[in-house]
Amino acid sequence: MESIAFIEELAANAWPAAIVQHVDGWRLRFNWGATRRANSALPIADGGRYSLEEKTGFAERFYADRDLPCRFQAADATMPAGLDAYLADRGYVREAPTTVLTAELTALVTDERPPQGVSVDVAPAMTDEWTSLYDQANGLTGHDAELRRDIMRRVPVPAAYALARMDGEAVAVGWAAIERGWVGVFGMTTQPAFRRRGAGRAVLGALAGYAQRSGAHSVYLQVMDDNPAAHGLYAGAGLRPAYGYHYRTRQLARPKASG
């Protein structure tokens, strides 16, 4: 099993924020508020140059200057040790607990053949049809949808975009980023009317097969803890929990009501 810090580094590369400031081992990420991951500090290394209080101050000013609440992505490998408790003492609220699942790709590739009536196309770039279904299935519109597409256009490593059809109708999508023998799977979404019919499993298997043919040997995937259906799907495909993370978000002070 690779280290948590290594997988988090891969995941950060796969979802690149527009602005990243490196501060003594931390990455301060900003993307105009689109997604927690791209608008949070990633503290998976500690250069030791500054105290925890000093570095937290740098992070808080970084986000205050951009009119966002300061947020940290706190994984089991957060650096330095004790950061999560320190943030809690400062009033940061715990949000969005997430589990990172991993597996050897051989376990997933056995599912590459889709069920009857389901077909999957995999391409190295987003198509208009893929983007349209991704936006629709995730309820994305306007500026927020464009910000997410910009993130995916910036991915600096080989990527793959899978689209599943059921009896000819586009029903599910997912995408993957491949780097240093690992593939991260993201954006797994199925139209509500077609869930639990094998389309999501088919997308996962197709991405796994594509990644294996591209030289990858292992997969990681992030699932929020409040999504039991997704956990069931991935457990059935052979993915197992490796570690967890959550966010710590500073609550902005509300202005006092006038008398």
What is the C-alpha R_g of the chain? Answer: 19
Exposure string for 127-141, b = 16+ CB within 10 A, e = fewer: eeebbebbbebeebe
The pLDDT of residue 249 is above 50: yes
Q: Are strands 218-224 and 182-190 parallel, antiparallel or unpaired?
A: parallel
What mean pLDDT comes out for the span 16-29? 97
Of the pLDDT bands very low, low, confident and very high (cuts 50, 70, 90), residue 109 is confident
The pLDDT of residue 39 is above 80: yes
Q: What is the pLDDT of residue 117?
A: 84
CA distances from 237 to 57, 72, 182, 184, 198 (A): 43, 31, 17, 15, 11
Residues 6+ apart with CB under 8 A from 72: 40, 41, 43, 59, 78, 83, 87, 92, 247, 248, 249
The pLDDT of residue 17 is above 90: yes
Q: What is the pLDDT of residue 256?
A: 46
Q: What is the pLDDT of residue 257?
A: 43
CATH hierarchy code of domain 102-244: 3.40.630.30
The pLDDT of residue 76 is above 90: no
Of the pLDDT bands very low, low, confident and very high (cuts 50, 70, 90), residue 2 is low
* Strands of 26-30's sheet in order across: 19-23, 26-30, 41-42, 71-75, 240-249, 93-104, 218-224, 182-190, 169-179, 159-166, 118-123
Residue 224: strand, helix, or coil: strand
Q: Give the model confidence (pLDDT) of 152-166 as tens digits.
A: 999 999 999 999 999
| Bridge partners, residue 189, by sequence | 173
What mean pLDDT comes out for the span 88-103? 97
Contact 35, 207 (CB under 8 A): no
What mean pLDDT comes out for the span 9-20? 97
The DSSP H or E segment spanning 197 is none
Of the pLDDT bands very low, low, confident and very high (cuts 50, 70, 90), residue 175 is very high
What mean pLDDT comes out for the span 235-257? 83
Residue type, 158: P
Residue intervals in the chain for CATH 3.40.630.30:
102-244
